[in-house]
Structure 1
Amino acid sequence: MAGLNFEAIPPLSSPIRFYLTATAFALLAAIMIALHGETLWLSRWMPATLAITHLIALGVMAMIMIGSLFQVMPVLCGAAIPIKGWSLHLFHATLTAGVLSLAAAFLGWLSFLIPFVLLGLSLGYFSLTLAWLLLTQAKGEQTRIPILLAIFALSVLVLLGLILLSGYLWGYMPTAGKVLTNLHAGIGSFGWIMLLIMAVSFQVIPMFHVTPPYSPTWRYALITLLLTGLILASMQLLHFAAAWQLAWGWLLSIGATLLYCAVTLERLTKRKRKLPDVVINYWQFGLMNLILTCLLSVWLIVPFTKPDWALLWQTKLEVLLGFLFGFGFVLAIIQGMLLKIVPFLISLHLQRLMMQNPMAMIPLPDHYQLISRVRMKRQYFSYLALLTALWLAFLLPATTPLMAVVFAINWLIIAYNIFGALTLYREYRDKLVNAPKLSL
Structure 2
Amino acid sequence: MRLTGLNFSDIPQLDVPLRFYLTAPFFAVIASLMLIWQGDAIWLGRWLPASLAITHLVAIGMMAMIMIGSLFQIMPVLCGAPITIPPTPLLLMQAGLIFGTLALSAGFFGWPTFAISFVLLALSLGYFITSLLGVLLRKAGGQQTRVPIMLAGLALAVVVLAGLLLLAGYLWGYFPFAGKNLTNFHASTGIFGWVLLLIMVVSFQVIPMFHVTPEFPRHWRIALPALLVIGLASIALSTLLQLSLYYSSALIAGVAILYAAVGLHRLRQRKRKLPDTVVSYWQWAYACLICGCLLMIAMPLVPIQLQGRAEVFIALIIGMGFVLGVIQGMLLKIVPFLITLHLQPIAMANPSAMMLLPDHYSLISRQQMKVQFRLYQLGMASVLVSLLYPPVTATIGLMMLLNWLWIGYNIASASITYRNVRQEMMAS
TM-score norm. by structure 1 comes to 0.95
Structure 2 contact 27–61 (Cα < 8 Å) conserved: yes
Q: Alpha-carbon deviation of 1:88? A: 1.0
1:405 aligned residue (398, 405, 424):
398
Question: How do 1:36-47 and structure 2 match up within 5 A?
Answer: 36-47=38-49
Partner of 2:294: 295
SS at match of 1:176: coil
Q: Secondary structure at the match of 1:276?
A: coil
Note if 1:247 corresponds to 2:246. yes
Q: Give the letter for the 1:198 counterpart.
A: M
* Deviations 1:298-346 (CA, angstroms, capped at 9, x unpaired): 111xx4xx46xx3322111111111111111001000000000000000
Q: Secondary structure at the match of 2:111?
A: coil
Is 1:267 paired with 2:266? Answer: yes
For 1:51-90, what aligned pairs fall within 5 Å after superposition? 51-90=53-92
Q: Quick one: distance in 1 between partners of 2:85 and 2:347?
A: 26
8 Å Cα contact 1:229-1:248 kept in structure 2: no
CA shift digits 1:98-139 (9 cap, x unpaired): 111100111112331110000000001000110010111111
Q: In the alignment, what sits opposite 1:141?
A: 143
The whole-number CA distance in structure 2 between the counterparts of 1:239 and 1:407 is: 39
Displacement of 1:43 after TM fit? Answer: 1.3
Work out the CA distance in 2 between the residues paired with 1:276 and 1:88. 39
Look up the match of 1:128.
Answer: 130
> Is the counterpart of residue 281 in structure 1 residue 252 in structure 2?
no
Aligned partners of 1:10 and 1:80 also within 8 Å? yes
Query: Over residues 369-400 of structure 1, what are the superposed CA-to-partner deviations in whole Å (9 max), with x where a residue is unaligned?
Result: 11111110010001001011111222222212
Conservation of the 8 A alpha-carbon contact between 1:4 and 1:75: yes
Q: Shift in Å at residue 143 of structure 1? A: 0.9
Q: How does 1:110-129 map to 2 (within 5 A)?
A: 110-129=112-131
AA of the residue aligned to 2:269:
K
Structure 2: runs of 5 or more not aligned? none
Query: What is the Cα deviation at residue 356 of structure 1?
Result: 3.4
CA displacement at 1:80 relative to structure 2: 1.1
Aligned mates of 1:171, 1:125 — CA distance in 2:
26
Give how far 1:156 is off. 0.3
Letter of the 1:376 partner, please give it.
M
Q: What is the rounded CA distance, in whole Å, between the counterparts of 2:76 and 2:354 in structure 1?
A: 27
2:173 corresponds in structure 1 to 171
Which string of whole-angstrom CA distances, capped at 9 and with x for unpartnered residues, describes residues 7-29 of structure 1? 11101100001111001000110
Q: Which residue, 366, 374, 377 being the options, matches 2:367?
A: 374
For 1:137 and 1:89, the matched residues in 2 are separated by: 24
CA distance in 1, matches of 2:152, 2:37: 34
Q: Structure 2 matches for 1:150-229, cutoff 5 A?
A: 150-229=152-231
| Residue 312 of structure 2 corresponds to residue 319 of structure 1 | yes
> What is the one-letter code of the residue matched to 2:219?
T
SS of residue paired to 1:362: helix
Q: Matched residue of 2:298: which SS?
A: helix
> 8 Å contact 1:362–1:432 — kept in the other structure?
no
**Equivalent residues of 2:356, 2:421 under 8 A apart:** no
Q: Distance in 2 between matches of 1:140 and 1:334?
A: 23
**What whole-Å deviation, never above 9, does each CA across 1:23-75 have from its counterpart, x for those lacking one?**
10001101111112111111110001000000001100110101111111111
> What is residue 438 of structure 1 aligned with on the other side?
none
- Contact 1:146/1:195 (8 A) holds in 2: yes
Number of residues of Structure 1 aligned to a counterpart in Structure 2? 426
Deviation at 1:358, TM superposition (A): 3.5
Task: Give the structure-2-normalised TM-score.
Answer: 0.97
Comparing 32-41 with 188-197, greater Cα deviation is found at 32-41
**Equivalent residue, structure 1, for 2:383:** 390
Deviation, structure 1 residue 140: 1.0
Q: Which residue of 1 aligns with 2:50?
A: 48
Matched, 1:91 2:93: yes
Secondary structure of the equivalent of 1:110?
A: coil
Q: Over aligned residue pairs, what C-alpha RMSD do you find?
A: 1.1
- SS for the counterpart of 1:379 is helix
Deviation of 1:357 (Å): 3.0
Letter in 1 for 2:258: L
